[in-house]
């Protein structure tokens, strides 16, 4: 089985995250809002394919698959990503 991500970061609740995010695991049910799907380009212009301004609910113990460029979490998350993950 090959992985489509190279790093895993544990992120506290209510944080804005951006980077080359492959998937997000919800330790507790949470919402992501807003969420931009596409390709993250470090030091360049991201390629955004779709932005969802409505909340996306991830049930407890479930994943949201990317690629995700940026989002804001409401709960504690485990983020699978490539390269740098920016957390604000």
Contact 48/42 with Cβ under 8 angstroms?
no
DSSP class of 27: S
pLDDT one-digit tens code per residue, 42-63: 889 999 999 999 999 999 999 9
pLDDT one-digit tens code per residue, 20-37: 999 999 999 999 999 999
Q: Three-state SS string across 38-61, please?
A: EECCCCCCCEEEEEECCCEEECCC
Write down the pLDDT at residue 2: 57
Q: How far apart are CA 24 and CA 78, in angstroms?
A: 6
Q: How far apart are CA 39 and CA 58, in angstroms?
A: 21
């Amino acid at each position: 089985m090959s992985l489509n991500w190279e790093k895993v970061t544990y992120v506290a609740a209510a944080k804005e995250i951006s980077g080359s995010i492959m998937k997000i695991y919800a330790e507790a049910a949470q919402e992501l809002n807003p969420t931009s799907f596409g390709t993250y380009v470090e030091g360049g212009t991201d390629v955004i394919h779709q932005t969802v301004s409505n909340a996306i609910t991830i049930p407890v113990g479930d994943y949201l698959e990317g690629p995700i460029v940026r989002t804001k979490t409401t709960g504690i998350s485990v983020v699978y990503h490539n390269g740098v993950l920016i957390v604000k």
